[in-house]
Amino acid sequence: MLKYLTLDSNIFIASIKGDEKYSSACNKIISRVGIDFILVEPSIIFGEVGNAVVRNLNIDIAREEIQNLRKAITVIQICGVVFCGKAGLSGGQYDIYSANSFYLQTALEHNTILVSLDEEDFIDKIKSKGAAIELFHVRDFFY
């Protein structure tokens, strides 16, 4: 049975760049999308990944990676007014950065597993407040 998964944009960025500490672990998780996992992402992911890839690599690679993301994501959570309001409230409740609140809200609304490279300012803060979802730093992801 496939599990629902939300990956923070930093997972995709590390995978694409390929030169970060956890790049291979990120690649391993991404390679299982469509096999073991159904990817559920907030629409903000396209802007975050596109921006980071253009700044670190180039615009042609960014365009290609955005297309790859569109194909990999099964459920795109549109970041509309109502969703953004909920994300802002959740972000404040869990004391996390604004952009991270979109991934958290997506995971909460769709009951997905949430994975990020941001342990201290994201994963640990959510865990400490007892969110009712599974949360992992990429190194601890055991599925």
What residue segments make up the domains of the chain, in order of their start? 3-140
Distance CA 36, CA 91 (A): 29
**What pLDDT score does 39 carry?**
98
> Could you identify the residue written with the tokens 């959740």?
90
Q: Which residues of the chain have pLDDT under 50?
A: none
pLDDT at 66: 97
Q: Name the pTM for this structure.
A: 0.95
The CA–CA distances, whole Å, from 72 to 38, 39, 49, 55, 82 equal 9, 7, 14, 23, 25
**Residue whose entry in the numeric block shows the structure tokens 């500490």:** 21
Looking at residue 32, its pLDDT comes to 97
CATH class for the domain made up of 3-140: alpha beta
